A and B are shown apart, each in its own frame.
Chain A
Amino acid sequence: MRATGSLWFAVAQRSFRRYSTYRAATLAGIFTNCVFGLIFCFVYIAVWNQNPDAGGYDRTDAITYVWLGQAMIMTVAVWNGGATDDLAARIKSGDVAVDLYRPVNLLGWYLASDLGRALFHLLTRGVAPTVFGAVIFDLRYPASTLTWVQFAVSAVLAVTVSFGVRMLVSASAFWLLDDTGIKNLAAVLAMFFSGLVVPLVLFPGWTRDLASVLPWASYLQVPADIWLGKHVGGDAWMALGFQALWTLVLLAFCHGVLQLANRKVVVQGG
């Protein structure tokens, strides 16, 4: 167990380092996040000027939400990408056969690798635009140390839930070979139901209730609500439990799908 732990840590660490080599791309990405953050701030300011407590948020909540959203885009890899894309490519090329041979759990390997990537993206493409936003606008910050800790846990769970979803999408390549179509569809669902284009709290009536129980709510809405102090006391633990539950369900599902793939799939050309 101890050996596996340090292996996964090593995988995560190398994945972090791998992404850190794309410096110009990271800077360009941060710039783009800042531009989109600015645009959405002005849109949201106009919305909240019209309706000062739309969705139970005030103006400061809404502006903070914009920058949290920009921070989470790359961290949870809403547009796909990350370690799961490597898997899809390896399934297509047949290299996955080597992965299946290795005496390590495939799911754990890719999860560790994706967590390493997510940490890099959080520290660069997450923190930098948020600092930029904080310089220009008045933002709201977690009220207590406990809230900071809960937010940190929530951010990790956001990545694990999104990893579960992305892993299922990539694993579809075992059967479909080309996962482009499903990947696009998954990105559409993730963009919309994560609350990135419009906060889930603005969804009308039952659509809001529905969107808040789907896995994508874990990507942004739940961590943002914890950060903003919308979940306090037991509520915050419930919110984390919700994310943990989706993580477990999705990872169990991934495990099952990979087992099935292991048994059924004939690697191309063999």
Chain B
Amino acid sequence: MANARAYLLLARMWIRVSMSYRTSFVVLTIGQFLISGLDFVAIVLMFTNIDALGGFSLTEIAFLYGGSTLCLGLADLILGNIERLGRRIRLGTLDAMMVRPVSVYVQMCADEFALRRLGRITQGGLVFAWAVHALDIDWTAARLAMVPYLLVFGTAIFLAIFTMGAAVQFWTADSSELANAFTYGGSTLAQFPMTIYPTEAIKALTFVIPITFVNWYPSLFILDRSDPLGLPGAVRFGGPVVAALLAAMAAGIWRTGIRHYRSTGS
């Protein structure tokens, strides 16, 4: 509870900082919106040459794209700057955080909290809304409930991946780009239907790096599509389990990292 309050306090402080450079804030938010939007424009451009990708229509892919982008965007908003851990270690400024009476993890999550990331969330949300509007989905209560489920557990999975990617930097201080492969890479991967990837890859993305639980399985349920792996239907509801497992792993790596940390300068 105290941690949540500390997080909100820090986030609010950084929002006030960014608001004192209002023009810059607006420009950067629009920039995020555009950069994120280009990925979708690229998909639309591809569809000027084809009708379907991996057996999925443009609107269905828009649904996948929107879900993936929203989950990544929300996770990025909540703790995106945690990837700066390595830089703080190199500069020695992490030590200052360790003597404060607030959890280092909370401080790193809220570090330079960037409200401009609403740019990506807005863009993902618009594409998602368009897909929902354009697709003829039979909205049963279960399917409707699956939408918040997708967003909550998908975001949770990305939060855990961001945390693990940052925690690795306790050992390798300048490898922040490694995490990008899993966060941005994972989100890019999930923007497309898994049917375009080889079966072994889909298995790996289900059982090893469970990116498919972010939006693929929930989307299969909502769009009423069959699973290319033919796994039991219960897998579609595996999000909470996967998110909990990843969170536990992330917490373990982070704690080990903090204990391992011996400050810089030697």
A192 to B178 Cα, complex, angstroms? 24
Question: Residue of A at shortest CB range from B194?
Answer: A42
> A43 and B196 in contact (CB under 8 A), knowing A25-B177, A188-B31?
yes
Q: Are B38 and A202 in contact (CB under 8 A)?
A: no
Considering only residues 183-204 of chain B, those with a C-beta below 8 Å from chain A are 185, 188-189, 192, 196-198, 201
Q: Please tell me which stretch of A48-56, A155-163, A246-254 contacts chain B, meaning at least 4 of its Cβ atoms lie within 8 angstroms of it.
A: A48-56
A185 at the interface (CB under 8 A from B): yes
> A197 and B42 in contact (CB under 8 A), knowing A28-B175, A50-B50, A202-B48?
yes
Q: Are B174 and A50 in contact (CB under 8 A)?
A: no
A45 to B197 Cα, complex, angstroms? 9
* Chain B residues bordering chain A, tally (CB within 8 A): 36
A32 at the interface (CB under 8 A from B): yes
A43 to B177 Cα, complex, angstroms? 23
> A192 and B180 in contact (CB under 8 A), knowing A36-B188, A47-B53?
no
A99 at the interface (CB under 8 A from B): no
> A35 and B172 in contact (CB under 8 A), knowing A42-B197, A204-B48?
no
Q: Are B176 and A28 in contact (CB under 8 A)?
A: yes
Q: Are B31 and A43 in contact (CB under 8 A)?
A: no
A184 to B38 Cα, complex, angstroms? 13
Q: Are A50 and B53 in contact (CB under 8 A)?
A: yes
Expressed in whole angstroms, the minimum distance between the Cβ of A261 and any Cβ of chain B is 22
- Residues in B with CB closer than 8 Å to A25 are 174-177
Expressed in whole angstroms, the minimum distance between the Cβ of A12 and any Cβ of chain B is 23
Considering only residues 129-182 of chain A, those with a C-beta below 8 Å from chain B are 178, 180-181
A43 to B185 Cα, complex, angstroms? 13
A54 to B39 Cα, complex, angstroms? 19
Contact with B along A29-68 (1 / 0, CB 8 A): 1011001100100110111001100110000000000000
Residue among A54, A180, A187, A198 with the highest chain B CB neighbour number at 10 A: A198
A32 to B178 Cα, complex, angstroms? 6
A24 at the interface (CB under 8 A from B): yes
B136 at the interface (CB under 8 A from A): no
Question: Residue of A at shortest CB range from B193?
Answer: A46
> A39 and B189 in contact (CB under 8 A), knowing A187-B35, A198-B46?
yes
Q: Are B49 and A32 in contact (CB under 8 A)?
A: no
Expressed in whole angstroms, the minimum distance between the Cβ of B133 and any Cβ of chain A is 24
A191 at the interface (CB under 8 A from B): yes
A36 to B185 Cα, complex, angstroms? 6
A43 to B43 Cα, complex, angstroms? 10
A36 to B191 Cα, complex, angstroms? 13
- Residues in B with CB closer than 8 Å to A203 are 45
> A47 and B31 in contact (CB under 8 A), knowing A32-B181, A39-B185, A197-B42?
no
A178 to B21 Cα, complex, angstroms? 11
A152 to B24 Cα, complex, angstroms? 40
- Residues in B with CB closer than 8 Å to A51 are 49-50
Q: Are A184 and B178 in contact (CB under 8 A)?
A: no
Considering only residues 184-208 of chain A, those with a C-beta below 8 Å from chain B are 184-185, 187-188, 191-192, 197-198, 202-204
A55 to B175 Cα, complex, angstroms? 37
Q: Are B185 and A54 in contact (CB under 8 A)?
A: no
B41 at the interface (CB under 8 A from A): yes
A231 to B177 Cα, complex, angstroms? 35
Q: Are B192 and A43 in contact (CB under 8 A)?
A: yes
A42 to B177 Cα, complex, angstroms? 22
A55 to B196 Cα, complex, angstroms? 20
**Could you write out 30 A-B pairs with CB less than 8 Å apart?**
A27-B175, A28-B175, A28-B177, A29-B177, A31-B178, A32-B178, A32-B181, A32-B185, A39-B185, A39-B188, A42-B196, A42-B197, A42-B201, A47-B49, A47-B50, A50-B49, A50-B51, A51-B50, A178-B24, A180-B27, A180-B28, A184-B31, A187-B35, A188-B35, A188-B38, A191-B35, A197-B41, A198-B46, A202-B49, A204-B45
Q: Which 8 A-B pairs have the closest CB atoms?
A: A184-B31, A28-B178, A181-B27, A50-B50, A46-B196, A197-B42, A198-B42, A54-B49
| A interface residues with partner B (beta carbon < 8 Å) | 22, 24-25, 27-29, 31-32, 35-36, 39, 42-43, 45-47, 50-51, 54-55, 178, 180-181, 184-185, 187-188, 191-192, 197-198, 202-204
| B interface residues with partner A (beta carbon < 8 Å) | 24, 27-28, 31, 34-35, 38-39, 41-42, 45-46, 48-54, 172-178, 180-181, 185, 188-189, 192, 196-198, 201
